[in-house]
Structure 1
Amino acid sequence: MATAEAAKGQGRVCVFSMFGPVFGYASAFVDGRTIAYVGPVTPGVHWRKLWSMADRCCRDRDSDVDKAMWIVSQANRSFICGSDVVVKLPNEDWEMEAGGWQVDIGTWCGQNTLVTGALTVSALTAEQTAPKPTFYPQYAA
């Protein structure tokens, strides 16, 4: 894993809940590679929450790349299937702070790289970013 640089973009953003917290998912085409940006939009939730969820849901022997692929799979599942979607924004500004993690995942779900970090989507309302009910709170811990 490498430390991620700050990024900004405009385009589709899928906002979905997973085990309670709400996350945003955007992608961008940069230097011939498609990058998935995934991060929490629920106030007070740190981006490493994604990785603790992946730790709980993946096998002990899985690598960081496997866990990154799991995170991309969850974001992609929400976008495509509509599972746990809070809102889909077709053309919105988003921003990822520097300091998150960047993982090369080859090609998975149409993405080449995952960047996780603190994501901001200013168009979201407090109701949209509030934690959602879950049947599996143990995975969010």
Structure 2
Amino acid sequence: MPERYRSIIDVHVILERGEEILLLERQGTGYCDGMLHLPSGHLDEGEPVTEGAVREAREEIGVRIDPADLRLATVVHHRQRPDLARVGMFFTTVRWEGEPYNAEPHKCGRLLWCDPAVLPPNTIAYPAAGINAYLTGTPLTLHGW
């Protein structure tokens, strides 16, 4: 009998400030360095998705978010390569404590507030697909399949 399918679960946080959202410029990671991404990361074993999103925001941009303030915006089933897929849970929030700052300078070059409808051209395609789905109210997007 074949093994059950297992996938990496990613959590992404869309911080909304007026008409802008926050993006991070990756650096020194070996994955898409110089490109823009949302505050995000992998879900830890046994961790609820909302707690993972809260943890990643705290680790990457130093803000505290109440899990009750997160709203699920969309889910992206992303095929990174033929042998690797991941499920991205994209959450939005307009409420958090603290001013976002670069809490991981060894992984991030800078923070950038931008218009989600006009993303910079160096935005990574996977989070860009999630941001577009959030803007259009699309609950599920297949990306890279």
Per the TM superposition, whether the score is higher than 0.5 is no
What is the TM-score of this pair, normalised by structure 2? 0.30
Highest relative contact order (Cα 8 Å, sep 6+), 1 or 2?
A: 1
